[in-house]
Amino acid sequence: MFINQEYFFWKLTHDLIVNQKFHILYSHMEEREVWLEKDFKGTTHVVRLKHKEMNWRNELKRDLELVDHQLKQNRKLFRGGKVQTHALYISEYPPVDEWEDLLGSRTDGMKVYFMHDENKDSERSRFYKKFNIEDPIVDQDIAENEMEAIIPYLKQQIVTMHQKRKKEAESLFRFGKPFMTIFLLIVNILFFLYVEWQGDTTSVETLIEYGAKYNPEILSGEWWRIVTSMFLHIGVVHLLMNMLALFYLGMAVEKIYGTLRFTVIYFMAGVFGGVASFMLNPQIAAGASGAIFGLFGALLFFGIQHKRLFFRTMGWNLIIVIGINIAFGIVVPQVDNGAHLGGLLGGFIATSITHLPKRKNVKLQALATVSYVLLISLMVFFGVQNIFNGGNFTKVQQTQELNKQGEYDKVIQITTEALEDPGRFEAELLFNRSFAYIREGDEEEALKDLEKVTEISPDLAEAHYNLAILYQKKGNTKKAAAHANTAADLKPDNEDFQRLKDELGQ
């Protein structure tokens, strides 16, 4: 009768894998043991099938403890949600002593199904109901020699299906070649070297000249800065960090999505992040960070479409990296969080538009397209109206322009009026006024403004640099050196800051 149980075991295993789309985690054909997995209603179900005669209760209990132990050892494979374990036994007879209590409520939460000759049909139906599966009829009225002939076929079908799905999973990461990633790396590096050759990538004037995101110029019609700022970086460290991220993320995303989809996602995310920065951040900004965060969004979209594979490969590691980057942006004032979060959202929406290779979802893609256009339009509107930046946002930009034009009296007048109710832009207004005071020769007033600036915004390197120069003129070398050191520490790539630090340190 052994052949009947073996036939039932492989017939059941074959149905779960081939027809019910369970995935093989582990199989040992000779030992007649197979581990399967399937996501169902937000839960990862792990099914262990075993064909073995369990003669005694303790033998069954020890085997269940082994199943629980093996699952705990491999728990990391199932990160990303709730896990439910099912232990299925196929045997000719049940244990001879009392054993039914092992099927009841268990502290480990495992569901146990013992299918012996007298209850195979009812236990199989009980298991299938958990997944809302129609219970197939396992034909056991056929002759034993036919069963023997069918079993190798069932095994081969199981192996073939497993290999097919494994190749399909591997092919998801090999759809494209990283041509555009390499091209973008080269362009960013060459453009950085060119700007450095022409000027200084840490200089505000140079950044504005070569296309940084600068809201006053954008408001005057230079919207192309949203794109050009994606290729401009502020210093070597900024470039290296972004290019390292682009290399690893770009390689992964372009291999998954292909060059065309990758290019669309990258630039749509970069534009979305740039517009978000325009809406939320009044400061000059540059860098590929928005587009790079869009690649995070593309991988998250992949995770939603292939949850099991996502958490088996990158999963929580990716989510933790995103979380660290967001937290870093909150802690460090210089980071453009608008561009980062905007790029992340923009990349996710852009990926919803392009979708995965060889996959379509017309409703989702249409909804994502409308969402992208609508959100971009709203961010442009809010940015132009200064809704998220407060009433003094325009005055900060206006006085920056007036300082460039040499209208220092107007700067002092406008900033003084604005400082009666500065809101979140007190440091920027004071800094602009201090610059005007310096140009007008009123260094005492400039000194007072700059001291306030460093109290409000201690990470503003330019304020420390200007203070160092003013204290140097007054002969207070101790304070001058302290501020010069702070400025150089905040922006180690700035040659002027380093030069002054070295000069005062002698």
Q: Give tens-digit pLDDT for 335-351.
A: 677 888 899 999 999 99
Please tell me whether residue 26 adopts helix, strand or coil conformation: strand
Q: Report how far apart, in Å, the C-alpha atoms of 334 and of each of 212, 245, 329, 339, 458 are.
A: 15, 19, 8, 12, 11
Residue pair 463/450 in contact (Cβ under 8 Å)? The answer is: yes
Q: Report how far apart, in Å, the C-alpha atoms of 364 and of each of 52, 151, 351 are.
A: 48, 44, 11
Residue written as tokens 């050196």? 481
Average pLDDT in the chain = 85
Give pLDDT, residue 194.
Answer: 93
Please tell me whether residue 92 adopts helix, strand or coil conformation: coil
The token pair at 302 is: 């992949």
Mean pLDDT, residues 65-80: 74
DSSP alpha helix (H) spans, 224-314: 225-228, 236-257, 259-280, 289-305, 307-313
The token pair at 203 is: 């200089």
Mean pLDDT, residues 471-491: 88
Q: What is the pLDDT of residues 193-235, one digit of tens each?
A: 999 998 888 887 888 889 989 887 888 788 999 999 999 998 8
Q: Who has greater pLDDT, 352 or 395?
A: 352
Is pLDDT above 60 for 110?
A: yes
Measure the CA–CA gap between 33 and 263, rounded to whole angstroms: 46
Measure the CA–CA gap between 470 and 468, rounded to whole angstroms: 6
Is pLDDT above 60 for 331?
A: no
Residue type, 117: D
Give pLDDT, residue 26.
Answer: 84
Give pLDDT, residue 65.
Answer: 84
Is pLDDT above 80 for 309?
A: no
Give pLDDT, residue 254.
Answer: 94
Q: Who has greater pLDDT, 183 or 198?
A: 183
* Highest-scoring range by mean pLDDT, 83-87, 178-182, 417-421: 178-182
The token pair at 356 is: 């995965």
Is pLDDT above 60 for 95?
A: yes
Give pLDDT, residue 105.
Answer: 62
Is pLDDT above 60 for 390?
A: no
Mean pLDDT, residues 380-391: 72
* 153-162, 287-296, 379-388: the lowest-pLDDT one: 379-388
Q: Who has greater pLDDT, 313 or 121?
A: 121
* Highest-scoring range by mean pLDDT, 10-19, 69-78, 181-190: 181-190
For residue 476, count CB atoms less than 10 angstroms from its CB and return exposed for 0-12, middle for 13-18, buried for 19 or more: middle
Give pLDDT, residue 384.
Answer: 81
Is pLDDT above 70 for 179?
A: yes
Mean pLDDT, residues 169-195: 90
Q: Who has greater pLDDT, 62 or 183?
A: 183
Long-range contact set of residues 98-103: C-beta below 8 Å, sequence gap at least 24: 98/57, 99/54, 99/57, 99/60, 102/57, 102/60, 102/61, 102/64
Is pLDDT above 90 for 265?
A: yes
Q: Report how far apart, in Å, the C-alpha atoms of 218 and of each of 195, 247, 281, 337, 402 are.
A: 21, 30, 13, 19, 16
For residue 262, count CB atoms less than 10 angstroms from its CB and return exposed for 0-12, middle for 13-18, buried for 19 or more: buried
| Phi, psi (degrees; rounded to nearest 5) at 332 | -95, 115
Give pLDDT, residue 328.
Answer: 58
Mean pLDDT, residues 409-434: 85
Mean pLDDT, residues 257-269: 95
Per-residue confidence band for 104, with pLDDT thresholds at 50, 70 and 90: low
| pTM tops 0.85 | no
Residue type, 229: S
| Phi, psi (degrees; rounded to nearest 5) at 435 | -65, -40
Measure the CA–CA gap between 263 and 254, rounded to whole angstroms: 8
Residue written as tokens 């990716």? 318
